[in-house]
Structure 1
Amino acid sequence: MKDNRKSIGFKYAWNGIISVVRSERNFRIHLLATVLVITAGLVMQLSQVEWLFIVVAIGSVLVTECVNSAIEKMLDYLNPEIHPKAKVVKDLSAGAVLLCAIMATVIGLIVFIPKIVGI
Structure 2
Amino acid sequence: MDIRKFFKSFIFAFHGIIYVIKSEQNFRFHLLSAVIVVIASTATGLSKYEWIIIIMLICGMFMIELVNASIERVVDLTSPDFHQLALHAKDLAAGACLVYAICCAIVGLIIFVPKWWGIIF
The normalised TM-score by structure 2 is 0.95
Counterpart position of 1:8: 8
The 5 A counterparts of 1:1-119 are 2-118=2-118
1:36-81 CA distances to partner (integer Å, 9 max, x unpaired)?
0000001111110101111111111111111000000111111211
Higher-RCO chain (CA-CA 8 Å, sequence separation at least 6): 1
Cα distance, 1:104 vs structure 2 = 0.5
Matched position secondary structure for 2:59: helix
Aligned mates of 2:63, 2:101 — CA distance in 1 = 11
Structure 2 unaligned blocks of 5 or more = none
1:4-39 CA distances to partner (integer Å, 9 max, x unpaired)?
111100000000000000000000000000000000
Aligned mates of 2:44, 2:112 — CA distance in 1 = 8
Give, as a single letter, the amino acid of the residue that structure 2 aligns with 1:15.
H
The normalised TM-score by structure 1 is 0.96
Give, as a single letter, the amino acid of the residue that structure 2 aligns with 1:65.
E
Aligned mates of 2:3, 2:107 — CA distance in 1 = 39
Higher mean Cα deviation, 77-86 or 4-13? 77-86
- RMSD of the alignment, in Å? 1.1
Structure 1 unaligned blocks of 5 or more = none
- Structure 1 vs Structure 2: percent identity of aligned residues? 42
Aligned mates of 1:51, 1:81 — CA distance in 2 = 45
Aligned mates of 1:2, 1:43 — CA distance in 2 = 45
